Amino acid sequence: MPSSTKAKRIGILTAGGDCPGINAAIRGVGKTAIYEYGMTVYGISSGFRGLVDNLYTELDEAQLSGILTLGGTILGTSRDKPFKGDPTVENKIPKLIKKNYMDLGLDALVVIGGNGTMKTAHKLSLEGLNIVGIPKTIDNDVWGTDVTFGFDSAVWIATEAIDRLHSTANSHKRIMVIELMGHHAGWLSLYAGVAGGGDVILLPEIDYDIELVTRNLERRAKSNKPYSIVVVAEGIKKPKGMSAAGYVSQSIREMTKLETRETILGYIQRGGTPTPMDRILSTRFGAKAVEMIAEGNYGIMVSKAGEHIIPVPLEEVGGKSKLVPADHPLIRKSRKMGISFGDRKM
């Protein structure tokens, strides 16, 4: 028998860039809501746009089945920001969202997204909507949670890509520069860079000196290291109009004459099936979100703290970003093993 709860009808939407594990989270929310609490679940399409344009469908058990391993989001997503835009129409969109939320008879809304989405979620909760956020992104930059789902999958994909660069780099005795996503954060490049045996790792959080990078690569070449792997985060400082990989590889070529090639991994990092760890995290986040709704605990985001899934107030999360601390233990240990971060520190 489903437990009794005041909330009977809930909505769920996914906003911002997609990542592996979103469908697993939708399934976690939906199955917990239906089986454990006897709620009705509405899937809202295309992020916040779906709440503006009334794009929704009831999610039943059949629609929640077979999606655990599926990449992307069955609901579709958009980067629409309801609180942004033409100042003359400002506040009309949030009001419309509120009206449509009430007309649909929703008791609560689960919002799956990254930093920007949590900021919007907080503003909507200030407008009186009962919101529970679930953090997702390959960037792992959402404040207030140890980790987001999508990150582990992206690290896995990026590491596999770096692994494959090693053999071709070795055959041709080349420098390989690979650019990874991550927005303004270097989590993905740090983790995949270390896991993939990168020799130089450039992160947005650490100021690098391109001359130090090139000297380091020359030194490696002279000491009979046949090739080098340079992992660069997309968010590093670079001249306008150039990609991070384009700038770094061009500089290496010009300053060292070493044969250099670049790879921009791109959206491959966001596609496909989630890793087992992401499936588990998504499922736990989804289930916890519904537990929070059942308890009437709104205006929060579910987050991972050690082994626990806990609520954190959206007001603490919105508008912040979790960057890699420059003295992160993995950076400190990697330096001791000879990995360069493009600065003078050892």
Q: Does position 238 bind ligand F6P by CB under 6 A?
A: no
59 or 317: whose CB is closer to ligand F6P? 317
Q: Which of residues 216-235 bind ligand F6P (CB under 6 A)?
A: 234
Report the alpha-carbon distance of residue 156 to residue 196 in Å, rounded. Answer: 9
69 and 52 in contact (C-beta within 8 Å)? no
Comparing C-alpha atoms, which of 178, 204, 192 is closest to residue 323?
A: 204
Q: Does 116 bind ligand F6P (CB under 6 A)?
A: no
Mutual orientation of helices 187-195 and 151-172 as an angle, nearest 10°? Answer: 50
Which 254-293 positions form the footprint of ligand F6P (CB under 6 A)? 270
User: What is the distance between the alpha carbons of residues 224 and 11, in angstroms, rounded to a whole number?
Assistant: 60
Closest CA to 311 of 121, 123, 167: 121
Residues 344/212, Cβ–Cβ less than 8 Å:
yes
Residue 264 or residue 280: which is nearer to ligand F6P going by CB? 264
Interface pattern 155-194 for ligand F6P (x via CB under 6 A): --------------------------xxx-----------
Instruction: Give me the catalytic one of 107, 139, 141, 152.
Output: 139
**Is residue 60 annotated as a catalytic residue, yes or no?**
no
Q: Which residues pair with 310 in a beta bridge?
A: 303
Closest separation in Å from C-beta 115 to ligand F6P:
8
Given 68, 108, 138, 309, the residue binding ligand F6P (CB under 6 A) = 138
Say whether residue 17 binds ligand F6P (CB under 6 A).
yes
Closer residue to ligand F6P in complex, CB, 19/217: 19
CB nearer to ligand F6P: give 20 or 286. 20
Which two structure tokens, joined as six digits, stand for 194? 């270390």
Count of residues engaged in binding ligand F6P, rule: CB under 6 A = 11
Distances (CA, A) of 113 to 85, 119, 171, 302: 20, 10, 42, 12
Positions touching ligand F6P (CB under 6 A) are 17, 79, 114, 137-139, 181-183, 234, 270
Task: Catalogue the active-site residues.
Answer: 139
